[in-house]
Amino acid sequence: MPKIHNFSAGPGILPRQAMEAGAKACLEFNGKGLSLLEMSHRGKDFIAVMDQAVSLVKELLGVPAGYSVVYLQGGASLQFAMVPYNLLDEGESAAYLDTGTWANKAIKEAKIFGNVKVVASSKDANYNFIPKGYEIPKDAKYFHVTSNNTIFGTQMQHFPESPVPVVADMSSDIFSRPVDVSKFGLIYAGAQKNMGIAGTTLVIVRDDLLGKVKRKIPSMLDYKIHIAEGSMYNTPPVFAVYMAMETLKWVKQMGGVSAMQKRAEEKAQRLYKEIDENPLFKGTTAKEDRSRMNVTFVMEKPELEEAFGKEALAAGLSGLPGHRSVGGFRASIYNALELESIDALVSVMRDFAKKNA
């Protein structure tokens, strides 16, 4: 079978060794004659998996004391509600930066629980840049940002100094670069883009932010309960947690998040160079805000998009069509994507330009 280059935005590409470990675990785990999928999550075998999955997060990101790490369910979309449910009391306000579809959905959910101040938005420009020069209200309970915008291809290259705790949705770029966790009050990330498969969501939260709201919080939505129960208040998504552990083991083996950042920069630089120099293609975002995870581009001649899409697919380039809401093309170049896949895409773009320029 010919090589398939996976540019899917999520669920996205996984390290080969993580997939092989997962396939093996599905048949038999730890020599017990049972699949990981049919073992008790209360047994010592899976508890060891959960412990290592948490430990790797702390090690790779340098999580300081006073923070808890939990694996939850419901995707990042549930976190849009869990964050204000746990941190924002009635009558209080939170600040949000509107940089795309997911930020906008987070804003919508937060409005259910308190007052929301949108400090800046790039919506009028079709979210093609990250706003700058805004002021974060000092009376806000927290300031929410989306670090990388998968649909529109923008990324926060720097996080602002904030007078209030920063909450960050890092679903699509977590573990792709070093971050100073101490600068954040809460970080959350759906696993299916850069740290595993769909089914679990990572939350890193500063402990002293919890237990402050007066409202009663349902148990399944209460961070404190999940922390106290070690991510096992209810049956956790055992296979998704296992795959996160295996993916993070690969990140560590490859040199950690600093090595991932170097890989990301090299891949992004090579692809953006072709987009900028090829007469048939153009990027869709401000250059200073270009994502190193999701590269969005369109064609100078829109009537050629269908033909290019067919040639790309025939060459084994999978997952390139842009999000249905924006069109064009999107190459998601997550940690596990190799440089050879970038070269394959660049080659097809050059060949197409020679035939159609």
Cβ neighbours around 143 below 10 Å, total:
25
Nearest Cα to Cα of residue 231 among 51, 31, 34:
51
With bands split at pLDDT 50, 70 and 90, how would you rate the model's confidence at 347? very high
pLDDT of residue 324: 80
**CA gap 250, 16 in Å, rounded:** 9
**CA gap 318, 214 in Å, rounded:** 49
**CA gap 341, 114 in Å, rounded:** 45
Arithmetic mean of pLDDT, 103-112: 98
User: What are the pLDDT digits (tens) for 224-269?
Assistant: 999 999 999 999 999 999 999 999 999 999 999 999 999 999 999 9
pLDDT of residue 235: 96
pLDDT of residue 325: 77
**CA gap 165, 136 in Å, rounded:** 11
Arithmetic mean of pLDDT, 311-332: 93
Is residue 88 a contact partner of residue 113, using CB atoms and an 8 Å limit?
Answer: yes
Strands 143-146 and 93-98: parallel
**CA gap 261, 333 in Å, rounded:** 12
With bands split at pLDDT 50, 70 and 90, how would you rate the model's confidence at 357? confident
pLDDT of residue 1: 61
**CA gap 184, 188 in Å, rounded:** 11
Q: State percent of the chain over pLDDT 90.
A: 97
- Catalytic residue numbers, as ranges: 102, 169, 193
Arithmetic mean of pLDDT, 194-216: 97
Token pair, residue 27, equals 């048949």
Arithmetic mean of pLDDT, 288-311: 96
Distances (CA, A) of 126 to 101, 107, 194: 10, 17, 25
Arithmetic mean of pLDDT, 197-215: 97
**Sign of the CA dihedral with 180 first, then 208, 105, and 50 last:** positive
With bands split at pLDDT 50, 70 and 90, how would you rate the model's confidence at 219? very high
Is residue 331 a contact partner of residue 343, using CB atoms and an 8 Å limit?
Answer: no
Three-class SS state of 35: coil
With bands split at pLDDT 50, 70 and 90, how would you rate the model's confidence at 323? confident
**What is the end-to-end Cα distance of the chain in Å, rounded?**
32
User: What are the pLDDT digits (tens) for 1-39?
Assistant: 678 999 999 999 999 999 999 999 999 999 999 999 999
Domain boundaries of the chain, sorted by first residue: 16-253, 256-356
User: What are the pLDDT digits (tens) for 145-179?
Assistant: 999 999 999 999 999 999 999 999 999 999 999 99
Second CATH level (architecture) for the domain 256-356: Alpha-Beta Complex (3.90)
Provide the CB-side half-sphere exposure for 108 (13 A, CA). Answer: 8
Write the DSSP string, 276-323: HH-TTEEE-S-GGGB-SSEEEEEESSGGGHHHHHHHHHHTTEES-BPP
Q: Residues near 14 by Cβ (< 8 Å), separated by ≥ 6?
A: 196, 197, 243, 247, 336
Q: Residues near 218 by Cβ (< 8 Å), separated by ≥ 6?
A: none
Arithmetic mean of pLDDT, 175-186: 98
16-253, CATH topology level = Aspartate Aminotransferase; domain 2 (3.40.640)
